[in-house]
């Protein structure tokens, strides 16, 4: 069966069709145009699917990756940065629009699934995929199946607390979440607070000024402690990094040292690597969702 995946981002919608052997047949992207509202986004998804499936034999499956997750309590999307979609029954709306079943999953879970199936984690059984971008998320894949957990929060790496008393406030309402220290937005916000200057996280991590240096050391340490915490609980065979900050190469050696320090073991055989599928991972993970949930 051909498999169609959609990566529903805040600024672009990406679509790919995989052949039965996993090869990408076609890939397209269109702007999300989230400011025009929910119906417009659904229409854009329908249009891109119609465009890429002209030569695809039916039936084909559809999987969709999105920031946020579908609440188990209400069935409505929550915590998406495409804010007009929050509070919407996204799965039902998509199924009405597309006239077929769709699987909807968190985008970090899709990233982890793609890397565990076709990317850096393909030879490993327990894979943690971490996205360090504007925000911070993760997904857990065991034997090529997403582990979502009983509350559907497995892999919510960005919102576990590393400093509960004096931690930085997080948009989620908690304090000291990992995301406020290691994500692009967290680093940029703290740099602005400390220096009064605005800059992007990549520049800040590469800068030699004292405040930037201190933030970089904190980035290494918090990421190392938090991944060490995950190792103590999940003990993944491999941690695959994605998102814009995963391209900052010095992090691999520096964070590995910290992680090892905070892991409760006298061995540390966990592989810690950059992703292999680049920005295709989201859409590939979405495409293979229906077979892997």
- Give the shortest CB-260-to-Zn ion separation in angstroms: 26
The smaller minimum CB distance to Zn ion, of residues 71 and 174, is found at 174
- Give the shortest CB-102-to-Zn ion separation in angstroms: 28
Provide the token pair at 61.
């499956």
The smaller minimum CB distance to Zn ion, of residues 177 and 287, is found at 177
Secondary structure percentages of the chain, helix, strand, coil, to 5 = 40, 25, 35
The smaller minimum CB distance to Zn ion, of residues 78 and 274, is found at 78
- Give the shortest CB-167-to-Zn ion separation in angstroms: 9
The smaller minimum CB distance to Zn ion, of residues 172 and 293, is found at 172
- Give the shortest CB-226-to-Zn ion separation in angstroms: 12
**Direct distance between the N- and C-terminal alpha carbons of the chain, in angstroms, rounded to an integer:** 17
| DSSP-derived 3-state class of residue 261 | helix
- Give the shortest CB-172-to-Zn ion separation in angstroms: 3
Q: How many CA atoms lie within 13 A of 156 on its CB side?
A: 16
- Give the shortest CB-208-to-Zn ion separation in angstroms: 30
What's the maximum distance between 2 C-alpha atoms anywhere in the chain? 59
Residues in contact with Zn ion by CB under 5 A are: 159, 170, 172, 174, 177
The smaller minimum CB distance to Zn ion, of residues 157 and 248, is found at 157
Provide the 8-state DSSP code for 223.
Answer: H
C-alpha pair distances (Å), 118 with each of 114, 143, 222, 277: 6, 13, 29, 8
| DSSP-derived 3-state class of residue 207 | coil
C-alpha pair distances (Å), 23 with each of 3, 27, 261, 288, 290: 10, 11, 40, 12, 17
| DSSP-derived 3-state class of residue 26 | strand
The smaller minimum CB distance to Zn ion, of residues 66 and 180, is found at 180
Element spanning 70, H or E: strand 69-70
């Amino acid at each position: 069966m051909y498999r169609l995946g959609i990566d529903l981002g805040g600024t672009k919608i990406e679509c790919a069709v995989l052949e039965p052997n996993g090869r990408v047949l076609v890939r397209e992207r269109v702007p999300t145009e989230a400011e025009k509202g929910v119906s417009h986004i659904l229409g854009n998804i329908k249009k891109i699917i119609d465009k890429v499936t002209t030569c695809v034999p039916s039936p084909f499956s559809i999987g969709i990756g999105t920031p946020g997750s579908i609440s188990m309590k209400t069935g409505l999307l929550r915590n998406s940065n495409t804010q007009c979609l929050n509070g919407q029954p996204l799965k039902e709306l998509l199924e009405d629009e597309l006239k077929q079943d769709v699987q909807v999953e968190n985008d970090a879970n899709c990233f982890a699934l793609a890397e565990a199936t076709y990317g850096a984690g393909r030879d490993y059984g327990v894979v943690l995929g971490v996205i360090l971008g504007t925000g911070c998320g993760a997904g857990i894949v065991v034997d090529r199946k997403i582990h979502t957990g009983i509350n559907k929060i497995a892999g919510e790496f960005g919102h576990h607390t590393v400093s509960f008393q004096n931690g930085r406030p997080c948009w989620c309402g908690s304090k000291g979440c990992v995301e406020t220290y290691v994500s692009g937005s967290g680093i940029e916000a703290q740099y602005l607070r400390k220096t009064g200057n605005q800059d992007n996280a990549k520049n800040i991590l590469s800068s030699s000024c004292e405040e930037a240096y201190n933030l970089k050391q904190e980035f290494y340490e918090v990421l190392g402690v938090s991944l060490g915490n995950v190792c103590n609980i999940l003990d993944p065979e491999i941690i695959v990094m994605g998102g814009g900050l995963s391209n900052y190469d010095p992090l691999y050696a520096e964070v590995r040292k910290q992680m090892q320090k905070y892991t409760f073991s006298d061995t540390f055989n966990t592989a810690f690597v950059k992703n292999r599928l680049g920005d295709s991972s989201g859409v590939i993970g979405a495409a293979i969702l229906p077979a892997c949930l």
